[in-house]
Structure 1
Amino acid sequence: MTSSGAVDKWGFETFAQVLEEGSGLIGEPAIVDGITGPSITQNGRTLTNLASINLLNMHQRTDLRQCFAEGAHQYGLTTGGSRMTQGVCRAHLELEHDVSQATGKERALSFATGLLANVGFVHAMSQDIDLGAGVRMNNSDSVFVLDRDSHWSLWKAVEGLGYGKRVFFFRHNDPDHLDRVLTKVGGGGKVVVVMESVYSADGTMGPIPALLDLCEKHNAISFVDDANGFMIYGPAHRPFATEYQHMRERADFVMMSFSKAVGLEGGAIAGPTAAVQSFELLSGTSMFTAAMQPPTAVTAREIIRRLSRDPEIVDSYLAKVTAFRRRLADIGCETSETSTYIVSVPVNDDDIAVELRQAFLDHGYLVPVFVYPAVKRNKALLRLIISDGHTEDQLDGFLSTLATLKEQFKF
Structure 2
Amino acid sequence: MRDFKAELEQRREKGLYRWRRQVETPQRPDMIVDGRSVLSFCSNDYLGLANHPDAIAAVREALPETGVGGGASHLICGHHSAHHRLEQSLANFSRREAALFFSTGYMANMGVVSALAGRGDTIFSDQLNHASLIDGCILSRAQIKRYPHADMAALEALLADTDGHKLVVTDGVFSMDGDIAPLPELVALCKQHDALLVVDDAHGFGCVGPEGRGSAAHFGLSQDDVPIVIGTLGKAFGTSGAFVAGSALMMDYLVQKARTYIYTTAMPPAVAQATCTSIRLVREADDRREHLARLVVRFRREAARLGYALMPSDTPIQPIMVGDAWSALALSKALEARGIWVTAIRPPTVPEGESRLRVTFSASHTEAHLDKLLSALGDAQRELPGHAA
TM-score by length of 1: 0.88
Q: Does 1:175 align with 2:143?
A: no
Distance change in 2, residues 1:360/1:150 (3 Å): same
Q: Does 1:335 align with 2:327?
A: no
> Which residue, out of 200, 206, 224, partners 1:225?
200
Q: 2:132 is matched by which residue type in structure 1?
A: S
Instruction: Look up the match of 1:377.
Output: 352
Aligned pairs for 1:198-347 within 5 A: 198-235=173-210, 243-246=218-221, 248-347=223-322
Identity fraction in percent? 27
Instruction: Look up the match of 2:130.
Output: 151
* 1:37-86, Cα deviation, whole Å (9 max, x unpaired): 21221221111111111122213222321111111222111220111112
Gaps of 5+ in 2: none
Instruction: Look up the match of 1:13.
Output: 5
Q: Distance in 1 between matches of 2:12 and 2:266?
A: 35
> Which residue, out of 31, 49, 60, partners 1:58?
49
SS of aligned partner of 1:286: helix
Q: Distance in 2 between matches of 1:338 and 1:16?
A: 34
Given that residues 80 and 269 in structure 2 are in contact (C-alpha distance below 8 angstroms), is that contact kept between their aligned partners in structure 1? yes
Q: What is the deviation of 1:227?
A: 0.5
Larger radius of gyration: 1
SS of aligned partner of 2:349: coil
Of 141-150 and 362-371, the range deviating more from structure 2: 362-371
Aligned length: 386
Q: Distance in 2 between matches of 1:203 and 1:260?
A: 14
Q: 2:58 is matched by which residue type in structure 1?
A: C
Q: 1:13 is matched by which residue type in structure 2?
A: K
Q: Distance in 2 between matches of 1:236 and 1:299?
A: 19
Q: 1:342 is matched by which residue type in structure 2?
A: I
Q: Distance in 1 between matches of 2:271 and 2:307?
A: 42
Given that residues 207 and 243 in structure 1 are in contact (C-alpha distance below 8 angstroms), is that contact kept between their aligned partners in structure 2? no
Distance change in 2, residues 1:17/1:269 (3 Å): same
Q: What is the deviation of 1:357?
A: 2.1
Given that residues 172 and 215 in structure 2 are in contact (C-alpha distance below 8 angstroms), is that contact kept between their aligned partners in structure 1? no
After TM superposition, which residue ranges in structure 1, 4 or more long, deviate above 3 angstroms? 236-244
Q: What is the deviation of 1:351?
A: 2.3
Q: Distance in 2 between matches of 1:406 and 1:248?
A: 47
Q: 2:204 is matched by which residue type in structure 1?
A: G
Q: Distance in 1 between matches of 2:47 and 2:34?
A: 25
Q: 1:223 is matched by which residue type in structure 2?
A: V
Instruction: Look up the match of 2:86.
Output: 95
TM-score by length of 2: 0.93
Given that residues 54 and 387 in structure 1 are in contact (C-alpha distance below 8 angstroms), is that contact kept between their aligned partners in structure 2? yes
Q: Distance in 1 between matches of 2:140 and 2:76?
A: 30
Q: Distance in 2 between matches of 1:176 and 1:56?
A: 35
* 1:116-162, Cα deviation, whole Å (9 max, x unpaired): 000100221135xxxxxxxxxxxx32211001100000111122456
* 1:314-344, Cα deviation, whole Å (9 max, x unpaired): 2222223222222223323332223112111
Give the RMSD, CA atoms, in angstroms: 2.2
Q: 2:120 is matched by which residue type in structure 1?
A: D
Q: Does 1:86 align with 2:62?
A: no
Q: What is the deviation of 1:277?
A: 1.2
Q: What is the deviation of 1:239?
A: 10
Instruction: Look up the match of 2:368.
Output: 393
SS of aligned partner of 1:343: strand
Q: 2:41 is matched by which residue type in structure 1?
A: L
Q: What is the deviation of 1:278?
A: 1.9
Distance change in 2, residues 1:40/1:11 (3 Å): farther
Aligned pairs for 1:11-50 within 5 A: 11-23=3-15, 25-27=17-19, 29-50=20-41
Of 37-46 and 204-213, the range deviating more from structure 2: 37-46
